[in-house]
Structures are given as C-alpha cells and as structure tokens.
Amino acid sequence: MSLRIELTDDPGRFLAEAGAHLAAAPVVTTVIATVTARMAEQGTASYGAAPYRWWAIARDDADRVVGVAMRTAPFEPYPAYVLPMPDEAAVALARAVHERGEALGGVNGALPASRLVAEEYARLAGGEVSVHEHLRLFELGELTVPAAPAGGLRLARREDADLCLAWFQDFGRAAAEQAGRTEPHGSAAESFTAEDMLARIADEIVWLWDDETGATVHLTAANVPAHGVTRIGPVYTPEEQRGRGYASRAVAEVSWQYVERGVRCCLFTDQANPVSNHVYETIGYRAVVDMVNLLITR
C-alpha cells in the first residue's frame, strides 16, 4: 500500500475532505475536530497567533483518508498534534514537515503515531526526543453522581470573565504541580483573551461552583460538541479548596447535562496525577487511548 500526505492551511477544506474520518471516531478525534471547527467558523485568529498553521491528511492508494494531524498550537514549542495513522504515514508526515524547513519542537497525540513522527523528524534534523507528559483519553460510560458538597453549580456569567480567564491560564501550572513536574506544558489557554473567555461564557460552556457562603471555589468547562462528542476541561480548583469534592460533583453534573442531550463526553487526564484519574474513574469515565506530549531538542 502506498501512502501520501496532503497539507492544507484551510480549515474549511480540511473539514470537507476529512470530516467523515473525524466523525467515524469522534472521541479520539475530539481535539482536531473542535479546534478546526472553531477556526473554520470564527477564523484562525480565534485560536491565537502561531508561526505554523496547517492540517495534514494521510491517504492510501485508494484515496481513502487513513490518518490526520494538525499544527495549530499558539504556544511553544508549537507542537504538531497527530492522531492514529499507519506507521508509513507517520514517517512520511515527519519528512514532509522537515522538507518544509519547519522547526518542530514537539509532537503531541496518539501513540505510536506521534512518537514515530517525532523520532523521524529528530533523526532528520539531528535532535533527541523526550517525553514531557503521558496523557490518557477517557470516555464516560455509566455515570455515577457523587454526593454534593455545600453550595451548587451554575453557569459562568459575564462578570465572572476575569476570574475564569485567570483560572484557565493557571490550569497548566496547577496540573504540572499536582503531577510533580516543575514545568507545565503549554496550552492554548495561555493565549486566551478576555474576548475569548466572554465567547465561551456566551456559548454556555463554563460552569462555576459557589460554596454555601456564595464564594466561587471551582471551575469546570467544556468544548462545543463536535460529531456528537464534547470534551470536558479544564477542571480547576484553587489549592486551598481542593479535597472537598467540588471537581467530582461538578464534572458529574456537567457530564449529565450533556448525556441528557444525547452528547457523548470525554476528557483527558495526566497519567502522573493519580488523584484526577481516580476521581474521573469513580464517576464513570473509562480509558480509551493513551496519548503523549513529546519534546524534540536539538
């Protein structure tokens, strides 16, 4: 079987040509589906400034789509995001990126394809590959709603935008700290603006938990569903409020709202953080696929 890689900088064209492939496995493809749909609808600037912006389609000799990837991250090291594809396609993608003269500092995504891309690019460019973070993608099975702590969940309002933005932006640091890492991995939230947060609040995809005194103590967010799947996150509780059950109850309530609408729910966890993995497994999330964030150093 011969394989070829097609690259495009047009999110609309990518969705038109690879949409059926994304829809066939909507949980695994959730990140590419939601990010690309947002860019196609609101423009590429809606995801922050980035030096590289492309989508890749791997096709077999029958012209069937057998894998996809993208490079749209607005944060260093501007990693590519790679989903499952044949080994030959992953190697071909790495070579295509190298031939374009791009400096590739990282590769995120599904194993083993993401590792093959990183290793082949490093071989060509003269570099080394290291693991920054092991991730796991979960999908909700049968939901178990835990007991509620004091207070209650509500949708974020416009007047909450500054707090929500601060917590979105601090999520990566807090997650790295809980996993025992000294350096967080970059995330799109770091480039969010007040306007970005207001748009998410208007889309009703950000929730806050207020305790019995009315103080806001927790945030759970989601993404606009794509192909019938929503991705929950970020989930953020300030350090002084952790251990009180806010995260498990909030995620369960948000998940239930989507289940009631016939939407499947998924989320990512850091494998180095046993607390979050246990919380989500307890309320019914089940592992789907292991993923990784890789760094390439020269």
151: left (phi over 0), alpha (psi -120 to 50) or beta: left
Tokens 């789907």 belong to: 288
On whether both 9 and 67 belong to a single domain, the answer is yes
**pLDDT for residue 172:** 77
Q: How many domains does the chain have?
A: 2
Predicted local confidence at residue 90, as pLDDT: 98
Is residue 125 scored above 60 in pLDDT?
A: yes
pLDDT of amino acid 273: 83
Domain-located, residue 247 = yes
Residue 216 belongs to some domain of the structure? yes
Residue 217 CA: distances (Å) to CA of 152, 237, 250, 282: 10, 6, 11, 21
Structural domain for 209, as ranges: 140-288
* pLDDT for residue 274 is more than 90: no
**Is 60 a member of any domain?**
yes
Domain annotation covers residue 151: yes
Alpha carbon 189 to chain centroid, angstroms: 11
Q: What pLDDT sits at residue 159?
A: 98
Domain shared by 171 and 280, yes or no: yes
Per-residue pLDDT tens over the stretch 8-65? 999 999 999 999 999 999 999 999 999 999 999 988 766 777 899 999 999 999 999 9
Residue 295 included in any domain: no
pLDDT at position 181? 60
Is the predicted pLDDT of residue 77 greater than 90, yes or no? yes
Residue 278 has pLDDT above 90, yes or no: no
Residues 148 and 76 in one domain: no
Whether residues 12 and 59 share a domain: the answer is yes
Structure confidence by residue, pLDDT tens digits, 172-227:
787 767 656 666 556 666 677 899 899 999 999 999 999 999 999 999 999 999 99
Identify whether residues 107 and 174 lie together within a single domain. no
Per-residue pLDDT of 227-250, as tens digits, reads 999 999 999 999 999 999 999 999
Rg (CA), the chain: 19
Do residues 144 and 119 share a domain? Answer: no
Is the domain of 91 the same as that of 151?
no
Task: Let me know whether 118 and 150 are in one domain.
Answer: no
> Rounded distance, CA 175 to CA 104, Å?
24
Q: What average pLDDT does the segment 104-130 reach?
A: 97
Residue 297 lies in a domain: no
Percent of the chain at pLDDT above 70?
Answer: 94
pLDDT at 256: 98
Sheet with 216-222, edge to edge strand ranges: 4-8, 54-59, 65-71, 80-82, 106-110, 285-297, 128-140, 264-270, 229-236, 216-222, 206-210, 152-155
Does residue 132 belong to any structural domain of this protein?
Answer: no
In a domain, 135, yes or no: no
